[in-house]
Structure formats: structure tokens, C-alpha cells
Amino acid sequence: MARRTVPASTRQEIVGYWPDIAFQHYVLARVGMRSSYWYAAAGCAHFAVELIVKYTLVLPQPWYRQTWPNRGRVYTLHDLPRHHDLVRLWKLMEIAHPGHPLTDFQTFIEELDRWHRLRYAEHLEQGSTSFSRTLEDVALNLTANAQHDHDAYGLDIRELDRFFRAIFDFCNITPALRGGQFLVAEGRHLYEEANEFAIR
């Protein structure tokens, strides 16, 4: 099929779609973990968090004409970092939102970022690698295998649920979920199932 080549310069990023895309990948991460598809779930979770954090950096004010009491630097598409390092992006949150209430997700962000190095299953040549469903179990695995070459990764879906609820509340996106903007077809069930932080 013949396709006309469109110059890249004629395309633009539509930032308004970013929360929707992030939410879709978040839900897909939940679905992936139901089948223990660790790599796919982690990849979706990593991109979901990356995109919603970047969105929070460029969002001037919360949705529905609310205001933040302490808004710092508002990033633009021109100066927004293009890397995928969640830890480095998370540090920018303090610049964009000094004193923001999401600081207790630091450990979650650091652990999720570690999955980026496993995109092609880069495991230890010598030793073992374990996957855990909670951050607490990662610590236990590391302690139990302290005398051996061992790598431990955690994908904590409960923390992912808690994170998305918290950042959606922070950006005041929460009312949009109550209105069903992000939830279509089976999306609501896949999002709400075993999710104590679901927005209903």
C-alpha cells in the first residue's frame, strides 16, 4: 500500500493525551501481572510512570481550574528531558513542585526504574535473579542471598495502584475517572479489580 511520507516537522506531541496513555499502560501492567508476564508488566508500568511524571512537570495547574499552593518551574516540551530515567525525572518533581506530597514514593520509583535494564533480560552471568511482587520481598530476598551473587527485582502492583491514585489526586485528574473518561470497554473492571486505591 502506497503511503505518503509525512515530514517529522509536521507532527507535534499532544500533551493532553498523556494522562490517558499513561493510564492505559498502567492498567496493562496490572493485567500483565495477573498472568505473571513480568517483563511486559514492568515495561508498561515503567512507561506509565514516566509519562505521568513528565505530564506533571509540564502541567501548569491542576485540572478543573484548581491551583497548587507551591508551583515551581513549569517545564515545556522544548526543555522537558527526553531520557527514560525515572530517578532523574523524579528529582525534577521537587523543582517543579517544591514540597510536593509524593515524596514517599521514592523507593517505589527507584525499584521500578531498575526494570529498564532488564528490557532484553540482561541477567547476571553468574548467580541468580529473583522477581518479587512486593518491595518488602525484594529486601528479604537480598538479605537471604547476601552471601551469593544475587539480583532481586520487585514489581509492586499495590504500590503502582497507590502511586497512580496519589498523582491523579495531586493533578486533580481524579474527577475525570469518576466520569468515565479513561475507562472504556472492560477497562473499569481491569482497573478496579483487587485495587483498594481505585477511583470509583
| Domain boundaries, given as residue ranges, for the chain | 16-120+155-192
Question: pLDDT tens digit string along 117-146?
Answer: 888 888 888 888 889 999 899 888 878 888
Q: What is the pTM of this model?
A: 0.92
pLDDT value for 6: 66
pLDDT value for 143: 85
Residue 50, pLDDT > 70, answer: yes
Question: pLDDT tens digit string along 158-189?
Answer: 999 999 999 999 999 999 888 676 777 888 89
Fold (CATH) for 16-120+155-192: Four Helix Bundle (Hemerythrin (Met), subunit A) (1.20.120)
Q: φ, ψ for residue 179 (rounded to 5)?
A: -85, -5
Residue 102, pLDDT > 80, answer: yes
